[in-house]
Structure 1
Amino acid sequence: MTPSLNSIMSRLHVKQLRLLIALDEHGSLLGAAKQVALTQPGASKALQEIETTFGTSLFTRTNRGLEPNDAGRSVIRYARLIQTDLAHLREEIIGIMSGEGGRVAVGTIMGAVPLLTTAISRVIADHPKLSIEIVEDTSAALLGQLDSGRLDLAICRTTVSTTPYLYESATFVEETLAVIASTQHPFAYARQLSLKDLVDYRWVVYRANMPMRLLLEREFHEADLRFPVHLLETTSAFATLSLLQENPTLVALVSTDVAKFCTGYGFTTTLPLPITSRSEPYELVSRKGVPDSPAARLLREALLNPPR
């Protein structure tokens, strides 16, 4: 029977987590013991205590040394996450004690990347010692990372969640959409286009059931056109840009902010195709009841109150 969470928390020690990581790196009890300043018998006893804490063996003894089993690999993965979190905690405490700096982890969906990077640039100009982690993913994935405490803030949409009441959210930007393509695309210099002109081209899109994908499907339906079958699906702005550069016949639906960024630097062109459907606005989301850290407050202020 797996021990309770309270039992694990009361019995597990940080030095034991260090031992697990060292065992994974060295593959031997002797090497791991030296790394964490234990004797070999002390390391052996500590490993037994760890396995007792979790109620299962974590390593297989082989001729080559100790190899983690499935449970061991899982525990080691979380040991590394805890080590990383403690390092981040140390950074934040140093920032608080010094009166500046600190750390914030923020997530964003692809379309809001330019908005986020603009806000971050303003914040670090005034607070150069601030550390910021940026995660780009889908709304559902970002909400999951908020739930687990991996993120402090996220620019996404709570409408994809079955439990939107778990979050504090502020709607702050209406998203508008544009179609982009390589500057070598056959329609790169067209003055006017309709969706029918692009029906036979391959599209780079978000995967099925995501808001931007549903909007594009609606555009095709309202134009009485068959939705393309052979798609390239990605949630990555860089993957989208790279695909357009590699294949000049592709087109992609992105936010207007992403389109302006890519076109402004000459990476792509924005095709003269009006998108009439409206996308859901961006929300700045955090966990309900969890106060912002000083660093998160700075970033929240920069996002919600940009200079005019």
Structure 2
Amino acid sequence: MIAVIETGSVRSAARKLGLAQAAVSKNLTALEKSLGVPLLVRSARGVEPTEFGRIVLRRARIVDAELRHMQEEIESLNGDAHKLITVGLSATAEAMLLPVAVARFREHTPNALVSVLGGRSSSTIAALREARIDFAVGPLPTDQSVSDLHTEQLCSSDLGIVVRADHPAADARDLASLAPYGWLYSVQQTGGPAIVSLMRKHGLPDPTLVAHCDSSSALISMLLQSDYVTLNSLAALEPLRAKGLLKVLPIEVDLPPAVQYLMTPTMRPLTASAAALAAEFRRASRRLRR
């Protein structure tokens, strides 16, 4: 069923799995019959899950991930595994922790491959619950409970207002001077983007929001090639500031820091390789706290 949903058709799923189309159809029919509910429906976009199908798909992905993890651990014990670890990262975690964590991890696990999923906390946590990623690093969501996850605070970073070094407002010293410019954001608070809260706190009109950047590369690319402004983690952008490409404006930002958490599933153990990578994220965060 997973392959059918991911490819959009029974025929494509059969091709991906190396099975006859009739065999895939037979298995789907048998599954629907055993559960007593329809799981798939055809639409203009191909085969899509019904409401029942979404429940089965979510559980099936967890089972599939556990089977793959079991196979990996068996192969690792035999010494012939090629390890794949998939992590979900916020833009801040991607910039602050990922390079150091992966570099150290690869020193001890040279045959491992790390796959990075970006996005909002809500999407990475959904992926974590469905076992599409091994663990996540980012802020805790403000719109949902994470009681089913183990959360561990790793590090925090003060926020600041940043522009490219040759920005027209590079000498600005107050928020009002930035009113003409569009804003890029990734840091959110309860109720919306942190920059909106900050502007309202100072009695200014709401800022013009241009893009929510869940990827650090997207944020940096847009900052360097436009007149956009961002309220963001200073530690995440420090390497580019140190190189003279970005500038932190001397404007006081009275907001709590951006806190990054390591999130792992409470009821699903990490594989040995995923646990080793998580340990390197912890080590990278301790390095920042010194």
Question: TM-score, normalising length from structure 2?
Answer: 0.74
Structure having greater relative contact order (Cα 8 Å, sep ≥ 6): 2
Q: Does 1:119 align with 2:98?
A: no
Aligned AA for 2:222?
Answer: L
The residue that corresponds to 1:5 in the other structure is: none
1-structure distance, mates of 2:96, 2:134 = 17
Distance in structure 2 (CA, Å) of the matches to 1:123 and 1:218: 39
Query: Which residue number corresponds to residue 137 of structure 1?
Result: 119
Aligned partner of 1:195: which letter?
L
- 8 A contact 1:166–1:287 mirrored in 2: yes
Name the stretch that deviates more: 281-290 or 198-207: 198-207
Where 1:106 maps in the other structure, the secondary structure is strand
* Alignment size in residue pairs: 275
2:165 maps to amino acid:
T
Q: Structure 1 residues 69, 47: closer, same or farther in 2, change over 3 A?
A: same
Q: 1:218 to 1:126 in 2, by over 3 A?
A: same
Q: Quote how far apart the aligned CAs of 1:120 are.
A: 1.4
TM-score by length of 1: 0.70
- Percent identity between matched residues is 18
**CA contact under 8 A between 2:95 and 2:216: conserved in structure 1?**
no
> Any stretches of 5+ residues in structure 1 without a counterpart?
1-15, 61-66
Q: Does the C-alpha gap of structure 1 residues 44 and 254 become closer, same or farther in structure 2, counting only changes over 3 Å? A: closer
2: CA distance, partners of 1:22 / 1:110: 29
Q: Which of 287, 297, 303 is residue 275 of structure 2 equivalent to?
A: 297
* C-alpha contact (below 8 Å) 2:83/2:273 kept by paired residues: yes
Give the Cα–Cα distance (whole angstroms) in 2 for the partners of residues 275 and 44 of structure 1. Answer: 58
Q: Structure 1 residue 280: deviation in Å?
A: 4.5
Q: Could you tell me which runs of 5 or more consecutive residues in structure 2 were left unpaired when the two chains were aligned.
A: none
1:279 aligned residue: 257
2:174 is the alignment partner of 1:194: yes
Contact 1:109 1:138 in 2 (8 A): yes
Structure 2 residue aligned with 1:231, among 209, 225, 247? 209
Question: Aligned residue for 2:233?
Answer: 255
Is 1:181–2:163 an aligned residue pair? yes
Flag the 1:156–1:36 CA change in 2: closer, same or farther, 3 A: same
> Are the structure 2 counterparts of residues 164 and 26 from structure 1 closer, same or farther at C-alpha, using a change threshold of 3 Å?
closer
The answer to whether structure 1 residue 109 and structure 2 residue 109 are counterparts is no
Q: Which protein has the larger Cα radius of gyration, Structure 1 or Structure 2?
A: 1
TM-superposition CA deviations, 1:72-93 (whole Å, max 9, x none):
9x79xx6996998566765554
Query: In the aligned structure 1, how far is the partner of 2:81 from the partner of 2:248?
Result: 41
Letter in 2 for 1:150: R
Which of the residues 13, 19, 36 maps onto 2:19?
Answer: 36
Superposed CA offset, 1:106-143 (max 9, x none): 11111121233221111112211122221111122222
Q: Secondary structure at the match of 1:187?
A: coil
